[in-house]
């Protein structure tokens, strides 16, 4: 008599849980190879000679608890592939959360590439949608919310995106303030239809929110800090999940962690496709040579080099001259970005001496003034915005932007 395949019970809630004694040792070793690996940050610190005291050498996404193996739920398709050669019968017990439907009315329209994206997304319960900035990821997500008819949570990483999603939810779904919850920037309310949360404000209170959510969305998932993202994402057992990303890669080399929790790439819209359709423009890069020089000897000199670079008066004056030339053309908003607040202030102060409508946006600016600046940008009353990259990152909606310095 032929040997019957071994049964493996796979429970899916906020994670994947499998009885450890149902898997062959060889299969467990294969899972370890994929889910336990050296921390890229630890390697980078070691390479640069930095202290690694609080940085773990290994990252563990496979854990054993009470004789069960636990792993992120987005790993399910990879799990099936890994276990396929071992003659196992997987019995999937999907216990993810589905709530009573809520009514939405989508009030926008989709371009053909967006229609193609939603067709793919709605066929799967979870995964990541990659589309360049300007491709309308927000509209696609809101359309999917309307079609899923589930109370939804949208995770963002900045206050600016928190209020941007709030505005778009009103515009495209016709929701009022009572139906939209906000978590972050002093708010903690759960909406009947949509809740928008800053990840740093959410992750310690995820368990207060999860029972109210059937559709879990992470905006700019490649930029969300890995620790807070993991703690927030691993708390939710929503049946539907969607990651939104402008690029499939993370700078910290932990791209696979997004896929572990959100699932693999569902569809990728290329920049070239959007350029052909005139949805985004191809950038024309103009290189400015400067006289700046620095004796860069070792990796430890990097921060000192950046400090010297941002304090170089001739270089600042060259940037300001280019900005003023652009502003005089009256051809849309110019955006000046720097990582250093003092650098931003130096550029802003020089531009402000001219007859130019210019605003400064850094972490030192009070919330009320930030909101006022955002409103001025939307109405086109500002010619030049000088901002730190922490506040103006991917996902910031500025259609009138025509030049970046």
Establish if 179 belongs to a structural domain: yes
What pLDDT is recorded for position 370? 80
Establish if 225 belongs to a structural domain: yes
Same domain, 172 and 265: yes
Distance CA 162, CA 156 (A): 6
Establish if 281 belongs to a structural domain: no
Same domain, 129 and 59: no
Number of domains in the chain: 3
Same domain, 163 and 193: yes
Same domain, 190 and 48: no
Establish if 290 belongs to a structural domain: no
For 204-210, the CB contacts below 8 A with 24+ separation are 204/231, 206/231, 206/232, 206/235, 206/236, 207/235, 209/153, 209/183, 210/14, 210/97, 210/235, 210/236, 210/237, 210/238
Establish if 342 belongs to a structural domain: yes
Q: What is the pLDDT of residues 286-300, one digit of tens each?
A: 888 888 888 877 666
Same domain, 357 and 272: no
Same domain, 270 and 320: no
3-state secondary structure the chain: CCCCCEEEEEEECCEEEEEHHHCCHHHHHHHHHHHEEECHHHHHHHHHCCCCCCCCCEEECCEEECCEEEEEHHHHHHHHHHHHHHCEEEEEEECCECCCCCCCCCCCCCCHHHHHHHHHHHHCCCCEEECCCCCCHHHHHHHHHHHHCCCEEEEECCHHHHHHHHHHHHHHHCCCCCCEEEEECCEECCCCCEEEEEHHHHHHHHHHHHHHCCEEEECCCCCCCHHHHHHHHCCCCECEEEEEECCCCCCCCCHHHHHHHHCCEEEECCHHHHHHCCCCCCCCCCCCCCCCCCCCCCHHHHHHHHHHHHCCHHHHHHHHHHHHHHHHHCCCEEEEEECCHHHHHHHHHHHHCCCCCEEEECCCCCHHHHHHHHHHHHHCCCCEEEEECCCCCCCCCCCCEEEEC
- What CATH number does the domain containing 255 carry? 3.40.50.300
Q: What is the pLDDT of residues 345-357, one digit of tens each?
A: 998 899 888 888 8
Same domain, 117 and 265: yes
Establish if 168 belongs to a structural domain: yes
Establish if 291 belongs to a structural domain: no
pLDDT (tens place) for every residue of the chain, 405 residues total: 445 568 899 999 999 999 999 999 999 999 999 999 999 989 888 877 788 888 899 999 999 999 999 999 999 999 999 999 998 999 999 999 999 999 999 999 999 999 999 999 999 999 999 988 888 899 999 999 999 999 999 999 888 889 999 999 999 999 999 999 999 999 999 999 999 999 999 988 999 999 999 999 999 888 765 788 888 889 999 999 999 998 777 778 888 888 999 999 999 888 787 777 667 777 788 888 888 888 877 666 777 888 888 898 999 999 888 888 888 887 788 888 888 889 989 988 998 888 888 888 888 888 788 878 877 877 778 888 888 887 776 556 677 778 888
What pLDDT is recorded for position 190? 97
Same domain, 80 and 129: no
What pLDDT is recorded for position 5? 65
**Could you tell me the pTM of the whole model?**
0.81
Same domain, 305 and 212: no
Among residues 276, 310, 328, which one ends one of the domains? 276
Among residues 94, 124, 148, which one ends one of the domains? 94
Same domain, 316 and 366: yes
- What CATH number does the domain containing 31 carry? 3.30.780.20
385 contact partners, CB below 8 Å, separation of at least 6: 333, 334, 335, 336, 358, 359, 361, 373, 377, 392
Same domain, 243 and 131: yes
What pLDDT is recorded for position 187? 95
What pLDDT is recorded for position 293? 84
Same domain, 90 and 116: no
Structural domain boundaries, residue 153: 112-276
Among residues 41, 61, 94, which one ends one of the domains? 94
Angle at 300 between CA 297 and CA 303, to 5 degrees: 105
Establish if 367 belongs to a structural domain: yes
């Amino acid at each position: 008599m032929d040997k019957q395949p071994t049964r493996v019970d796979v429970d899916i809630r906020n994670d994947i849980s499998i009885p450890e004694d149902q898997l062959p040792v060889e299969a467990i070793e294969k899972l370890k190879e994929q889910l336990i690996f050296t921390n890229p940050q630890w390697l980078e610190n070691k390479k640069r000679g930095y202290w690694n005291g609080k940085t773990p050498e290994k990252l563990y996404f496979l854990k054993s608890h009470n004789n069960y193996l636990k792993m992120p739920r987005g790993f399910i398709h990879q799990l099936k592939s890994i276990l396929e050669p071992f003659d196992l019968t997987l019995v999937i017990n999907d216990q993810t959360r589905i709530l009573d439907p809520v009514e939405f009315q989508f009030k926008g329209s989709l371009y053909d590439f967006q229609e193609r994206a939603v067709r793919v997304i709605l066929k799967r319960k979870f995964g990541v949608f990659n589309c360049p900035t300007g491709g309308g990821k927000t509209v696609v997500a809101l359309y999917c919310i309307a079609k899923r008819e589930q109370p939804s949570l949208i995770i963002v990483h900045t206050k600016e995106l928190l209020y941007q999603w709030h505005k778009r939810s009103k515009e495209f779904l016709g929701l009022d303030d009572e139906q939209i919850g906000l978590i972050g920037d002093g708010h903690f309310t759960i909406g009947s239809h949509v809740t928008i949360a800053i990840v740093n404000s959410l992750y310690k209170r995820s368990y207060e929110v999860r029972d109210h959510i059937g559709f879990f969305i992470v905006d700019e998932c490649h930029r969300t800090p890995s620790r807070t993202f993991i703690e927030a994402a691993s708390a939710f057992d929503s049946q539907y999940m969607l990651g939104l990303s402008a690029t499939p890669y993370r700078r910290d080399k932990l791209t696979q962690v997004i896929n572990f929790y959100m699932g693999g790439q569902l569809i990728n819209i290329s920049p070239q496709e959007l350029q052909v359709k005139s949805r985004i423009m191809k950038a024309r890069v103009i290189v400015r040579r400067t006289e700046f020089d620095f004796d860069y000897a070792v990796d430890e000199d990097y921060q000192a080099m950046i400090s010297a670079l941002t304090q170089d008066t001739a270089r600042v004056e060259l940037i300001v001259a280019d900005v003023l030339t652009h502003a005089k053309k009256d051809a849309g908003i110019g955006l000046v970005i720097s990582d250093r607040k003092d650098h931003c202030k130096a550029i802003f102060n020089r531009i402000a001496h001219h007859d130019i409508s210019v605003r400064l946006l850094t972490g030192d600016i009070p919330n009320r003034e930030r909101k006022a600046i955002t409103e001025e940008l939307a109405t086109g009353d500002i010619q030049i915005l000088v901002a730190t990259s922490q506040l103006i990152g991917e996902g910031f909606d500025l259609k009138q932007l025509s030049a970046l310095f």
